[in-house]
Amino acid sequence: MSDQFDFIIVGAGSAGCAMAYRLSEDPKNRVLVLEFGGTDAGPFIQMPAALSYPMNMSRYDWGYESEPEPHLGGRRLATPRGKVIGGSSSINGMVYVRGHACDFDTWEQMGATGWGYRHVLPYYQRMETSHGGEPGWRGNNGPLHVTRGTKWNPLFEAFKDAGEQAGYGVTRDYNGQRQEGFGDMEMTVHKGRRWSAANAYLKPALKRGNVTLIKGALVHRVTFDGLRATGVEYEAGGETKTALAAREVVLAASSINSPKILMQSGIGGGAHLAEHGIEVVADRPGVGANLQDHLELYIQQACTQPITLYKHWNPISKAVIGAQWLFFKTGLGASNQFESCAFIRSKAGVKYPDIQYHFLPFAVRYDGKAAAEGHGFQAHVGPMRSKSRGHVKLTSRDPRSKPSILFNYMSHEEDWEDFRTCIRLTREIFGQEAFAPFRGKEIQPGNHVQSDADLNDFIREHVESAYHPSGTCRMGATDDPMAVVDSQCRVIGVDGLRVADSSIFPQITNGNLNGPSIMVGEKASDHILGKDALPASNAEPWLNPHWETSQR
């Protein structure tokens, strides 16, 4: 094939893989996908239980971290982004959350016309094959398989029962009509393997013959003729090359790299570009602004029965689990171990859930680096809608240089109040009768940490990113000076260029971002192809009828 294509997609991540699949359905369309990372083959990525490995391997991760965070005592927080086929869907925790219906209605109120819940629900249904989800609300014929765990451990059930005992509702499908409540967590795992966007979308697309994938391609910039994007300049195998796009260039390079590439291409705040000697193509000060993320804490409790994953925290057990997975794709290796969860509201007057729980029958850090001594269990908990906003900026015009990332975490007093509430509500849940047969001492924060000041100290020292950066190329109205793309994902002020990934979220969604990122790729594909959007849904999501007066 020549170096001229109809469409060039930058980034083979969650949204990029979905677009490669949809744009190549018409055999006339020639699609080029440029990805800096390499193959996703091997057990570290494909085995669900090995999830802590790939995000700590420089082979698969860009290795970004934040600037010293001023409200967290100057800590730098890791900001992993997938540098591999499948992008972050190949290194994430495989948790599948669509987001709450109200998230998307909020997007629409913020200027993302046509992205309300009624508009995005049909795309979620198109992309999914749901195993065990709520009929009528879920898809059953899409590329993305979504499954539930075996609930092999009684602690998963105890967590749900404790929520009910504490007065919260139960949801049979938080991705269906009702998000609020305690329920089974869903994962992007299929037949025992990580079902990344690469497995679901890109590999089938590559079999069609009209998709070209170039690995090891570092994109320098989008090329322009006047205000029209004409292609992409990239480096591969030590050579600088140019690929031409007859129709469009689409950036799907993550909420960190998409704004970085825009700025390297002359689209961003004029003054910031001038600092780095970059000629301005379009002065869009919103590029790199509006950076959002979710933070979380691990509330850890000792377990009095030897039933947790700690019994497998040894080389022999790991080898047995690995062998069972390798030969049969079954056993503990076939789950991410996040099998129960909850979405609750922090207080009366909050319309829809603003706290998320992932429950784990093990007391360990997400990156697998530190296990608490002995048997324990933990809840990952954090607020979903912080008002804190940060930015991504260039440090140099050299495409190889890492960007400056500042989240400005915990910069609002409400963030501290929300996290203290998270800790106290979690203690109440762990204190319920359902946990009585299992409950030992509180490992973290520890019973001595009770006052607001002590809780704040614990939060400052222990809060971690949930790895959900988003919002840096915000979608909005064309007359909004801080919007970067319009409601069809077109970059405002130029032609032939779109952005479609988590960077376009006007506001971070409620929960993990892989699902919404793939949905963006699905919906953007129809816009790119000039197709009518799927017909809007008239399904009515559930809201707690007493939300104004009751917390649960």
The annotation status of 17 as a binding-site residue, yes or no, is yes
Q: How far apart are CA 437 and CA 440, in angstroms?
A: 9
Q: Is 20 annotated to bind ligand?
A: yes
Flag whether 12 is marked binding: yes
Q: Is 13 among the annotated ligand-binding positions?
A: yes
Which residues form the catalytic set? 468
56 is in an annotated binding site: no
Instruction: Specify burial of residue 387 (Cβ count, 10 A radius: 0-12, 13-18, 19+).
Output: exposed
490 among annotated binding-site residues: no
Q: Rounded distance, CA 482 to CA 493, Å?
A: 12
b/e map 418-427, b = 16+ CB within 10 Å: bbbbbbebbe
340 annotated among ligand-binding-site residues: no
Our CA dihedral for 308, 309, 315, 321, rounded to 10 degrees, sits at: 120
Measured CA to CA, the distance from residue 486 to residue 474 in angstroms comes to 9
In whole angstroms, give the CA distance from residue 195 to residue 145: 7
Is 55 marked as binding a ligand?
A: no
Is there a binding annotation on residue 30? yes
Q: Binding residue per annotation — 28?
A: yes
What contacts 531, CB < 8 A, 6 or more positions away? none
336 is an annotated ligand-binding site residue: no
Tell whether 10 is in a known binding site: yes
Q: Is 8 left (phi over 0), alpha (psi -120 to 50) or beta?
A: beta
Report whether 23 belongs to an annotated binding site: yes
| Residue 410 marked ligand-binding | no
Contact residues for 412 (Cβ-Cβ < 8 A; gap 6+): 386, 387, 388
Q: Was 176 annotated as part of a binding site?
A: no
Gap between the Cα atoms of 122 and 350, Å rounded: 27
Rounded Cα distance between 263 and 54, Å, is 29
Is 103 within any annotated ligand binding site?
A: no
- Coil, strand, or helix at residue 486? coil
* 363: CB partners within 8 A, 6+ apart: 298, 300, 301, 302, 308, 310, 371, 372, 375, 376, 377, 378, 443, 444
CA distance 45 to 194: 7
Q: Is 233 annotated as belonging to a binding site?
A: no
DSSP sequence for 47-90: SGGGTTTGGG-TTTB--EEPPPBGGGTTB--EE--B-BTTGGGG
363 annotated as belonging to a binding site for a ligand? no
Residue set of the binding site: 6-35, 84, 92-95, 219
Residue set of the binding site for FAD: 6-35, 84, 92-95, 219
